[in-house]
Structure 1
């Protein structure tokens, strides 16, 4: 029994882990104690509880509604997590990896001008009947022109590229207003890293590549830069989030706003969306914090893989773009699920 594909049901995840715990190639699960979590005592658990409450009513699985109801009655967040959850370390063969993401802010216009000439496209109606759809190069060369799909026009092709990588963002228009856009779908082509393409071309080493390095290189090399962007055939379409308040974070995979430094994107084949996850990220800026799995991403694959949401704007983007660290993440499972996992693992 494999773990991949058992999305959204914590009980199914437990069964899958239990069945594969005896396989050399399958994922492994081990129940820990809270004393095993580095930095657990010093975290601000109330902040994590508030983020958990934002989406706990949307968690799939028969054990979660009761846990969510109990969470709403708690005055001591740390005690709540320790009473009703158990930490479970889930590992597969892939090495642990933490990266960061953010909500970009772009400059744009509702109409095309010589400055604002790169379109932010809505989902084409014929995408559903054509798979895969036009490539990034096809679209960049006009495959969707004159179809009325433009939400706005922006002034920078590489910033638009990273808006697509992040999946949501803000566009400040020439009249001073700001619109919010969110992920609506993609063209059906697999994502290919342009950072890795620069490494392959011998332009940079793997440790030199970051979002800012890529942006600067494309700016200095506009012709080769366009070719670099086209090397990723995947293309993301957007929809305007008209009801999303300016103070709210972007919408995550659970259709609710996510929170800077408390929300993470995970692989839902291993981690139930909405579950608390203890993060122990190493690197130059170590992080020990309880976060909530409220988002996903096409590049987020594996039991020990997470993308940390750093917030909105250039400053958050500068930090997020440098994150590529090891460490470990521990899922907090409702206590009855953890005990069931323990019992099956011992059989």
Structure 2
């Protein structure tokens, strides 16, 4: 079975880690497919398809630039493929926060936003969050881009991009630079494990409030997530455009999704169905990744920039399913293996 899964991963152009079970679907099996705005999805696909190097993807990108029938394009040249790896589906949201800050430590703005250190090793875990924060391992090295509220810095690192508004109106736009490769852990789950909250009570707003009410314990709580993100300035991106994703292109609100690239190729269209209150049904594009996004049915929906986008992203925690749209020949390549093992 493992050998067969590896063969499928190679056929799809995915890493060998992608050992999920594939299933071909029809477009009529995608709930809400006919009602979606396929032209908006096609525009998002065009944002990054030019960077795809495989021959079949390049050919499809050229065709996408010339089509005037977005829905027909996807239905003619792609097949829906459902990958499941035995783990429960989970769909969350993320956004681009806008923070207040300063170019020097000032009042509540005392936490430095660090750029990537030049001695960050290429492999293996590096300094922990506590060593950087409490130990000051990076202070005095000129790596500071700006200073922000310590709690907001933590959530900025979870989102992976953001904007810092300085006194006088100047805005610094931040993009993901690198990480310390320490394991990511959820401080919300840690609060649940400690008995502070029930799972349904935990949200970004609740966590912020608890940390601020309990500054000493709150600081130590943040340290339980050893992962730490470094940033880079991306002020060349126009304000009206989305932040840069994993493909180094601007991402699109409600059309970009972050996925696990061990299962879903970056740049691929993906159909998202969630079972939450809003009943999300939409064709999106896999243009981003995240340290907490692991698994065939794990995805993070990009909701946009600012406070309202943050509210919507913060309350998104839904079940559902993610269905990849793969070039038709890639999808058919897996069919003999699927038929050979109907289970």
Instruction: Tell me if both proteins adopt one fold, taking TM over 0.5 as the criterion.
Output: yes
Superposition misfits of 4+ residues, deviation over 6 angstroms: 14-17
2:206 corresponds to which residue? Answer: 213
5+ unaligned residues in a row in structure 2: which ranges? Answer: none
1:38 to 17, 26, 31: 31
Aligned to 2:252, what secondary structure does the other structure show? coil
CA-CA distance at 1:135 after TM superposition: 1.3
Q: 2-side partners of 1:131 and 1:298: how far apart?
A: 15
Structure-2 residue corresponding to 1:13: 14
Q: Is 1:151 matched up with 2:145? A: yes
Q: Which residue in the other structure is 1:168 paired with?
A: 161
1:41-61 Cα deviation digits (max 9, x unpaired): 100100000000000112243
* 1:51-90 correspondence to structure 2 within 5 Å: 51-90=44-83
Answering whether residue 264 of structure 2 is matched by residue 271 of structure 1, we say yes
RMSD over aligned CA atoms reads: 2.0
Alignment correspondent of 2:315? 322
Quickly say closer, same or farther: Cα 1:49–1:203, change in 2 above 3 A: same
TM-superposed CA distance for 1:2, in Å, is 8.0
In structure 1, runs of 5+ residues without a counterpart are 18-25
Deviation, structure 1 residue 162? 0.4
Q: Which moved more, 1:318-327 or 1:46-55?
A: 318-327
Partner Cα separation in structure 2 for residue 131 and residue 180 of structure 1: 28
**Given that residues 10 and 60 in structure 1 are in contact (C-alpha distance below 8 angstroms), is that contact kept between their aligned partners in structure 2?**
no
Report the Cα distance in structure 1 between the residues aligned to 2:86 and 2:309, rounded to whole angstroms: 31
Deviation string for 1:236-281 (max 9, x for gaps)?
1111112111111010011100000000000111111111101111
2:128 is equivalent to residue 128 of structure 1? no
Q: CA, structure 1 residues 60+300, in 2 after alignment: closer, same or farther (shift >3 Å)?
A: farther
- Aligned partner (choices 194, 202, 216) of residue 201 of structure 1: 194
Report how far residue 231 of structure 1 moved: 1.2
Whether 1:191 aligns to 2:184 is: yes
Write the distance in 2 (CA, Å) between the matches of 1:36 and 1:13. Answer: 24
2:215 paired residue number:
222
SS at match of 1:207: helix
SS at match of 2:92: strand
CA shift, 1:62, in A, is: 2.7
Given that 1:59 and 1:272 are in contact with CA atoms closer than 8 Å, whether structure 2 keeps it comes out as no
